Amino acid sequence: MITFTPLAGAACSSSTTPLAYVLQVDDVRILLDCGSPDWVQEPSPFNEDAMTEDPQPQSPPWQEYCESLKKIAPTIDLVLLSHGDLAHCGLFPWAYSRWGLKAPVYTTLPVQAMGRIAVMEDVEGVRAEFEVELDESLEPESETTIEPTDVEDQPQEKPLPTTGANGVCVATLIEVQDAFSSINTLRYSQPIHLQGKCQGLTITPFNAGHSLGGTIWKIRSPSSGTILYAVNLNHMRERHLDGTVLMMRPGGGGGFESLVRPDLLITDAERAAVITSRRKDRDAALIDTITATLTSRNSLLLPCDSSTRILELLVLLDQHWNYSRLNFPICLLSKTGREMLTHVRSMMEWLGGTINKEDVGEDGNKRSQHANKRRRDDEGEDEALGAFALRFKHLEFFPNPQALLERHSSKDPKLIIAIPASLSHGPSRQLFADFATVPDNVVLLTSRGAEGTLGRALFNKWNDSQRADDKWDKGKIGRNVMMDGAIRLKMYHKVPLQGTELEEYIARERAAKEKEVAQQAAMARNQRMLEADEDDSDSDSDTDSDASDDESDDDLDMEVDGTERKRRKRKGDKEDGGDWADGDEGLTKQLLSFDIHLKGKVSKSTSFFKSVGGQTQRFRMFPYVDKKRRVDEYGETIDVGMWLRKGKALEEEAEQKDKKEQADDDDEKIAEPPSKYVTMEVEVQLACRLLFIDMEGLNDGRAVKTIVPQVNPRRMIVVHASEPATQALIDSCGSIKSMTKDIHAPAKGESIQIGQQINNFSISISDELLASLRMSRFEDNEIGYVRGRIVAHANSTIPILEPASSAFPSQAPAKQILRQRKLGARSQVALPHSTMIGELKLTALKSRLASVGVQAELVGEGVLICGAGAKQGSLGDWTETVAVRKVARGKVELEGNVSDVYYTVRKEIYNLHALVAAA
């Protein structure tokens, strides 16, 4: 039984990002991807009506998705991540640390590394401009009284808020590191047999293209069959990546056979109605625009993501700079740019396409590469694999726009790659406000951006300005558009506090600190009171046994009072007369008692017949105290309290050491002044040029409509698509006779069920029946034909399957057999029932025949010619030719003359199946 529920990124949806789906296979709940939306969404600045309307307070568009994921996160048993960008794994750190998503997580090594970098870049960018955490310190807290019995308990930390300010769920850097460190990494084609609640499931990752480490997940269930989750694929071979394995190459033996004909295919159809222009035309348009703009002493702004598609652009630009000998700088505004390239250089085995250690690096020729290698060897540098690849000498890194302006003047021509691609916040938005006002500057878009962002608004502006035949989805490169007019943008900043605001902040911090110190002092005072009570109890029990038992009560009271005064004086000297001064005498007498026969609260006045305060009083009767001295084997008195205090002192010392080290680390960093978040609305006078070139690296409609029929699933679920794209893919599959018609396109939050519920039970096979079984091996299983009857025994709770001797015709009564006999005829004997299990693949049969020396060729659809007739252009002996033909409903026809080739082909067909026969 399979249940599928899209949390976000559903079919027939206006917003296709982020991606998050819950797949339930029997009792196992699997979360497929855990993407995050763009947290800064606003109306289009080109829509004057939307900008002039008075905005009504409403819930953010991602609230429903976050609430659904928060509710279901603790029940997830397995998490699979497919790509390392925000749309696929951006919300995973928050769900891991705040929502209880503690299930095992699997992905490839590059997705783990690139996903961490992408989320860290987004975290730093959003937290630098928006208030994310709720300020709980300003909320009034109710006063609580700390009881002495609660002091010994460890202080509990406040639970982390499950949602941020304004519903923005952006984790901290530490939470991002912890979340991605918990991920289990796999290699391509590496099957993993899960354990625990997921026992029985097998997951295998395959190459999806589009991004470094992008994954197609194959999920194998013994009860539900094979499930294929393939989203955001790219069939094209790029400069740094190979195409997806689902694309069957001509003459290459096709794609992976294990991915063909799955029981369920979950795929996206976002670009099913799009025709992408040729890669040659896109690269030429990109390079020509960049070269023409820079040579005319103007600059370009290229918004891009921080981890996935930026690699293809950097490789392309580096090759062009080396080939054309350009001296203009390439500026990358990203706080994680250096770290990203460092990680990529350590994962060269994951790269593909045309990139290698010789053609992409500091120079594009082998001579300089060898010279660099000799220079590094002479310097004694130990470089890992990829040391000479992906080192772009024209690339410069800047953490913010201010650092860029300090290095390069705003009038110098340069190519600026800014993060993020949506221009919703961060360096790309800040640069656009100043960049767009300079005439002949070019804003070059390589992706459409998310819904509700400035990047999507600019794309729509460009696309609406094109002719009908030059739209982005028509397979042609459009022209650049001259921007004019003025737009109003909201700019977000974090500014230091000044004046009255700074004084109020300092006053609040001082009051909070004083309150914390007072609470700590109260806890310490109560702790000392408890320790003093414990010391007094120990001293009473360790009193010398030589003391006289017939001492009067008055003497005992005098001795106790003297001991109390000495202890109060000693404590007062140590603590400067603080907690045990005369002012606390009443409290001390109320809490403590020093009666040698009865310990506890006895200061209340009571009578013999009734109790005061509702508690039953105890009275001294037949007083006797067994005084024992606790000593060790050497006669030394054992002071348990001293060891307890020593342990607490060691713990406090370790805590103080950790705090000191943390304070030293904080002192080394630049102390950030108290600040606030402000929003300013600025007017931008547009004068630049705008151009869009599709560099997203995704399948277009032709590729999608080719790959899906080749995979040929039995059932299919369409996700991550608009309504026209969804209908285009469904119509395309409906026009193919061999394609399944069981296609689902669930809406967001809609659950669909595939398959039927299976009720199974356990039986035990008897030894007699087990000895008569003939087992055949098929894949990883052994299969046998069983025929018997189920018998329940009183001494066993599990029924037993025993041979059904009366079911075979050969053991019928003798009289019945004699009646059926005819004179001169043999007795009838029932033939054993045989069954062949498996699916014949003609390509696999062709390979097996080639290994035994029989030539075979595929002719037509579903026909394999074997033997002498398979030789092209040869009139061989057709008596030694056999044709293998696959027909509908799993039938195979073997046609040919009786010959050695016929029996060889039949034998190999049998070997590709499991033959199960009854005894």
Residue range 429-471, pLDDT digits in tens = 999 998 899 998 999 999 998 888 999 999 999 999 998 888 8
CATH number for the domain spanning 467: value is: 3.40.50.10890
CA dihedral 754, 755, 761, 767 (to 10 degrees): -130
How many Cα atoms sit within 13 Å of 437 on the Cβ side? Answer: 13
pLDDT at 734 over 80: yes
- Say if residue 849 is in the same domain as residue 913: yes
231, part of any domain: yes
- Say if residue 891 is in the same domain as residue 814: no
DSSP class of residue 637 equals B
pLDDT number for residue 572: 43
pLDDT at 607 over 80: no
Spatial distance between the Cα atoms of 769 and 789, rounded to a whole number of angstroms: 10
Pair 213, 81: CB distance under 8 Å: no
Lowest mean pLDDT among 17-26, 278-287, 328-337, 644-653: 644-653
Q: Which of 643, 536, 639, 514 is nearest to 580 (CA)?
A: 536
pLDDT band (50, 70, 90) for residue 149: very low
- Which of 638, 672, 692 is the C-terminal boundary of a domain? 692
CA dihedral 646, 650, 651, 657 (to 10 degrees): 160
Spatial distance between the Cα atoms of 273 and 700, rounded to a whole number of angstroms: 7
Spatial distance between the Cα atoms of 301 and 435, rounded to a whole number of angstroms: 8
What is the full DSSP assignment across 764-815? EE-HHHHHT--EEEETTEEEE---EEEE--TT-SS-EEEE-GGGSGGGS-HH
Cis peptide before 496 (omega within 30 of 0): no
* Side chain identity at residue 251, one-letter code: G
Cis peptide before 18 (omega within 30 of 0): yes
- The 3-class SS string of 282-313 reads HHHHHHHHHHHHHHCCCCEEEECCCCCCHHHH
45, part of any domain: no
Spatial distance between the Cα atoms of 269 and 254, rounded to a whole number of angstroms: 23
Residue of 490 and 370 predicted with greater confidence? 490
620, part of any domain: no
- Say if residue 251 is in the same domain as residue 286: no
Residue of 449 and 254 predicted with greater confidence? 449
Q: Which of 78, 74, 32, 69 is nearest to 163 (CA)?
A: 69
Residue 614, classed as helix, strand or coil, is coil
Residues 362-368: contacts with CB under 8 Å, at least 24 apart: 362/388, 362/391, 362/392, 362/393, 363/322, 363/393, 364/319, 364/322, 364/323
Lowest mean pLDDT among 65-79, 253-267, 701-715: 253-267
Spatial distance between the Cα atoms of 896 and 58, rounded to a whole number of angstroms: 74
pLDDT number for residue 144: 36
- Say if residue 124 is in the same domain as residue 174: yes
| CA 574, chain centre distance (Å) | 56
pLDDT number for residue 757: 56
Residue 30, classed as helix, strand or coil, is strand
* Side chain identity at residue 196, one-letter code: G
Find the DSSP H helices in 73-206. 86-89, 92-98, 109-127, 173-181
- Which of 647, 672, 692 is the C-terminal boundary of a domain? 692
Lowest mean pLDDT among 601-615, 636-650, 712-726: 601-615
Task: Write down the mean pLDDT value for the chain.
Answer: 78
Looking at the DSSP assignment, which residues form a beta bridge with residue 225?
A: 221
First to last CA, the chain: 34
pLDDT number for residue 597: 45
pLDDT number for residue 625: 64
| Listed ranges 143-152, 181-190, 616-625; the one with the highest mean pLDDT | 181-190
Pair 461, 690: CB distance under 8 Å: yes
- Which of 798, 820, 842 is the C-terminal boundary of a domain? 820
DSSP class of residue 25 equals E
Spatial distance between the Cα atoms of 236 and 257, rounded to a whole number of angstroms: 20
- Say if residue 26 is in the same domain as residue 110: yes
- Say if residue 738 is in the same domain as residue 785: no
Lowest mean pLDDT among 11-25, 442-456, 532-546: 532-546
Residue of 353 and 324 predicted with greater confidence? 324
* Side chain identity at residue 584, one-letter code: D
230, part of any domain: yes
Q: What is the mean pLDDT of residues 616-643?
A: 67
Q: Which two tokens stand for residue 486?
A: 């003025």
pLDDT band (50, 70, 90) for residue 592: very low
Looking at the DSSP assignment, which residues form a beta bridge with residue 583?
A: none
Q: How many residues in the chain?
A: 919
Pair 173, 123: CB distance under 8 Å: yes
Residue range 776-790, pLDDT digits in tens = 776 667 777 787 888
- Say if residue 204 is in the same domain as residue 82: yes
Q: What is the mean pLDDT of residues 737-766?
A: 82
CATH number for the domain spanning 878: value is: 3.30.310
pLDDT at 343 over 50: yes
Question: 563-592: buried (b, 16+ CB within 10 Å) or exposed (e) per residue?
Answer: ebeebbeebeeeeeeebbeeeeeeebeebb
Specify burial of residue 677 (Cβ count, 10 A radius: 0-12, 13-18, 19+).
middle
pLDDT at 16 over 90: no
603, part of any domain: no
pLDDT band (50, 70, 90) for residue 383: very low
CA dihedral 418, 423, 426, 432 (to 10 degrees): 70
Residue 529, classed as helix, strand or coil, is helix
Residue range 547-566, pLDDT digits in tens = 444 444 444 344 444 444 44
Pair 428, 420: CB distance under 8 Å: yes
- Say if residue 734 is in the same domain as residue 868: no
pLDDT number for residue 185: 95
pLDDT number for residue 618: 56
Q: What is the mean pLDDT of residues 792-814?
A: 66
585, part of any domain: no
pLDDT band (50, 70, 90) for residue 257: confident
Residue of 220 and 539 predicted with greater confidence? 220
Residues 280-287: contacts with CB under 8 Å, at least 24 apart: 281/477, 282/477, 282/693, 282/694, 282/695, 283/316, 285/477, 285/693, 286/316, 286/444, 286/693, 286/695, 287/316, 287/320
Find the DSSP H helices in 486-628. 500-541, 553-574, 585-591
Spatial distance between the Cα atoms of 171 and 163, rounded to a whole number of angstroms: 10
- Say if residue 788 is in the same domain as residue 743: no
Specify burial of residue 64 (Cβ count, 10 A radius: 0-12, 13-18, 19+).
middle
Q: What is the mean pLDDT of residues 518-533?
A: 80
Lowest mean pLDDT among 138-147, 263-272, 446-455: 138-147
- Say if residue 860 is in the same domain as residue 718: no
- Say if residue 402 is in the same domain as residue 462: yes
pLDDT number for residue 842: 82
Domain that holds residue 477: 279-355+390-494+682-692
413, part of any domain: yes
| Counted domains in the chain | 4
Residue 698, classed as helix, strand or coil, is coil
Spatial distance between the Cα atoms of 103 and 88, rounded to a whole number of angstroms: 17
Residue with tokens 């026909």: 863
592, part of any domain: no
- Say if residue 269 is in the same domain as residue 128: yes
Find the DSSP H helices in 256-396. 279-295, 310-324, 337-345, 366-379
User: Is the full-model pTM beyond 0.75?
Assistant: no
Spatial distance between the Cα atoms of 429 and 631, rounded to a whole number of angstroms: 76
CA dihedral 524, 525, 531, 535 (to 10 degrees): 150
